[in-house]
Amino acid sequence: MPEQVEAATQEQLDQQSRELPDLIVIPSIKGEMVHLRPSVIEDLERMDAIGAYIGASGITGKDRVAERGAVHAWVRRSVAWSQGETPTESGVGDPESRRTIAWSIITEADHDGDGEIDAANSDNVIGMIFLIDIDGWARSARIQVVLGKDYRGRGYSRDIMPRVMTYGLAPEPAGLGMHRIWVAVPEQNTRSVSVYQSLGFVPSGRSRDALWNASQNRYQDLIVMDTLVDEFDPIRSLDAFGMHVIEDNPGVKEALSAREHSIAIRLNEKNASKHDAEGTDVNDAAAAAQSVQKASSDGAGDVAEAVRKDAEGAEPARQSEHDDRKSVTGDADAENSWPYTAGERKTSKEAWWRTLGRGRKRDTEGK
């Protein structure tokens, strides 16, 4: 009988661990170009002011009215969760008790070089980013960015998406503790597909003729892409575009430590296999394990440095190219799933986004 009680108690604990909290404190997140704060209801009018829903059919596959309605629901769900309201109380809850977090994207700079703050007419709001359908049971969430028409194609998504993903995938309580983050993008939106690939997403499925392509008067497929917690690299996702890790952002230290631990495990397995197959003495695993221990005690900055120097081995460039070939060609000798090669990744000295989109204004729908 005591064993049955203990088993039932453990089952209840397991169940509770997959239930989302009744109230969440939505953290602010810093970027290099912009920063994020929790969205408020008043920001919905600001989204209208910046033309956030113009060209929606080409970006998300929804028409303008549907996109606007979805954003309004997401913001209201986010505000309700931050106030501890149940889905029944808020009137905007998900029937499966899934939650949403909405951040407003804030700029306080003149990135387009016209001598004025970019979004003075919208109180510095240039768009929003969301974690939608946050599923506590499956530990899964969908990410989506909605930008004003004049702020697309300037690199803002590349600045903020990996930082939100880091928070989403970082273990609780520092992060949301998600296992998977996914996106859904129309096949015609090749620009977004490229951005998602650069952030580490990989195609996982395709819904045939799921969307209507109004510009071409035909149906189009919806591409589903995702990344898992043990695949996402918070350093490379930023480094690929000349961005830097901001160590005091929520979940960064925990995500980097978890990533370092994962790398060390793979190195241990790889080197053990080498030792068994070749009978050689390999010291890489021990060095990597020592790196993990040191990094965990020294903080996020040292973790990042350990990833770059210790875990990738004595020849990081060659190892990185070898790892990247695994994801592109399926080479069985490599273990990294990162989709871009070393030659395609940018360094901070080549940060293209610093000048991208200067003076660029988009006054026509869908462009």
| Average pLDDT of the chain, as a whole number | 76
Same structural domain, 159 and 303: no
Whether 39 maps to a domain, the answer reads yes
Tell whether 117 is covered by a domain.
Answer: yes
Helix intervals (H) in 113-231: 156-169, 190-198
286 and 152 within one domain: no
Last residue in a domain, options 149, 175, 201: 175
Which tens digits make up the pLDDT trace of 15-34? 557 888 999 999 999 999 99
Write the pLDDT tens digit of every residue in 194-208.
Answer: 889 888 899 999 999
Domain harbouring 139, CATH code: 3.40.630
pLDDT for the residue 203: 93
Q: Do residue 168 and residue 71 come from a single domain?
A: yes
Verify that 161 and 24 share a domain, yes or no: yes
DSSP H/E element including 249 = none
Same domain assignment for residues 19 and 166: yes
| Number of domains present in the structure of the chain | 2
pLDDT in tens, 30-54: 999 999 999 999 999 999 999 999 9
**Which pLDDT does position 245 carry in this prediction?**
92
- Asked whether residue 7 carries a pLDDT value surpassing 60, the answer given is no
pTM above threshold 0.75: no
Residues 34 and 128 occupy one common structural domain: yes
Give me the helices (H) in 170-231, please. 190-198
Determine the Cα–Cα distance for residues 227 and 197; give it in Å rounded to an integer: 10
Q: Are residues 20 and 131 in the same domain?
A: yes
Taking the C-alpha atoms of residue 97 and residue 91, their distance in angstroms, rounded to an integer, is: 12
* Rounded Cα distance, 260 and 291, in Å: 8
Say if 19 falls within a structural domain. Answer: yes
Give the β-pairing of 29-30 and 202-213.
unpaired
Distance CA 282, CA 274 (A): 8
Statement to judge: residues 161 and 293 lie in one domain:
no
- Residues 6 or more apart whose Cβ sits within 8 Å of residue 44: 71, 72, 75
Separation of CA 299 from chain center: 22
- For residue 324, tell me if it sits in a domain: yes
Please say whether the beta carbons of 89 and 80 come within 8 A. yes
Is 298 inside a domain boundary?
Answer: yes
Nearest of 95, 237, 94 to residue 168 by alpha carbon: 237
pLDDT above 70 covers a percentage of the chain that reads: 67
**pLDDT tens digits, one per residue of 48-82:** 999 999 988 888 888 899 999 999 999 999 999 99
Tell me which residue range forms the domain holding 69.
14-175
Query: Which pLDDT tens digit goes with each residue over 247-259?
Result: 999 999 988 787 7
Residue 123 has a pLDDT of: 85
